[in-house]
Structure formats: C-alpha cells, structure tokens
Amino acid sequence: MISFILAVLAGLCIVGADQYTKFYIASNYVLGESHDFLKGFIDITYIENGGAAWGMLSGYTWLLLSITVIVMLVCIALLFRYGSKNKLMFWAIVLVLSGGIGNMIDRIFRGGKVTDFLHFSFYPQFPVFNVADCAVTCGAIMLVVYFIVDIIADDRKKRRGSTEQVEQNENI
C-alpha cells in the first residue's frame, strides 16, 4: 500500500513538474526563442511539437492520443500483473504513465501540440524534449532492463533445471 501511495505521489510530482515547466516556458519565452541553460550541454529552446519525436506523425493528434492511451493501458495491465513482484518494473511503469499523462494533457488542452524546450546543444540533430519525455524514456529504459534481466534469469533457471535433470538421469 505504501508503494502505491509513493507511486501516486511520484507520478503527481512528475506531471506537476512537467506541466509547470511547460507553462513557465510558454509564458516567458517566445516561440522559437533559445538560450543557453548549461552552456555546451543543454539549451532552452521553446517549440511546440504537433507530432512525436522528430515531429513524426505531425498533425495526427488523434492517432498520437490513441497510441498513448493504448500504451498506458498496456502499462496498467503490466502493473497489475507484474508490478507487485518487481520494484524495477513497478517504478518503470510509474514513469511511463506519468510522462504519458503529461504529454496527453498537452495534446488535449494545447491544440494537439506538446510544449518542448530542452535541447542538447552538443547534439543539435536530437529533438527538443520536455520533462514528460524524460520520464517516458527513463521508464522505457528501465522496462528494457527489467525484461533483459528477466530473460537472463529464466535462461539460467532452464539451464540449471536441465543440468539437474541430466545429473538425476546419470544417477539412475
């Protein structure tokens, strides 16, 4: 129960930080304006993105919203099925859900566009992103790590089981 309360609080903090930073940028910057934040590392560049990463599917708000809802439903299903068994899976899903909610709020209430403002100045081709994107990315990486670790553990169990079976057959 405490994990659930912490997850809700963490999710609210992530969504709150995401929405606050987007509101701050939209209120204090002109669209397209850019300033150094951490010189040589991150710039603040205010853009409105009507698509996904790199502007893909721009103008397809309903498709992007539908994909977001589907991903969120899959995450909720994973949370109920595996979340209580593994903390890495649990927190990964919390991050993905929180980030998804943050960007979904933008798509619904900001004309189908997401406010992006963080930009790696050392890698100019990388898309401008926001706090919600960071949460989704970190959560997705954690999910990949979880599944890799789980696959390795299953493989070790299978090998251990087959080795024990061979030893039992040899003893007969």
Asked about 133 being catalytic, the answer comes back as yes
Give me the residue label for tokens 């189908």. Answer: 112
**Which residue in 116, 150, 154, 155 is the catalytic one?**
116
Structure tokens at 66: 């539908």
Scored b (16 or more CB within 10 A) or e, 137-168 reads eebeebbeebeeeeeeeeeeeeeeeeeeeeee
* CA–CA distance, 53 with 47 (Å, rounded to integer): 12
Give me the residue label for tokens 């991050």. Answer: 95
The one-letter amino acid at 33: E
**Which residue in 18, 43, 133, 154 is the catalytic one?**
133
Give me the residue label for tokens 């850019």. Answer: 34
* CA–CA distance, 138 with 37 (Å, rounded to integer): 21
The residues annotated as belonging to the active site are 116, 133
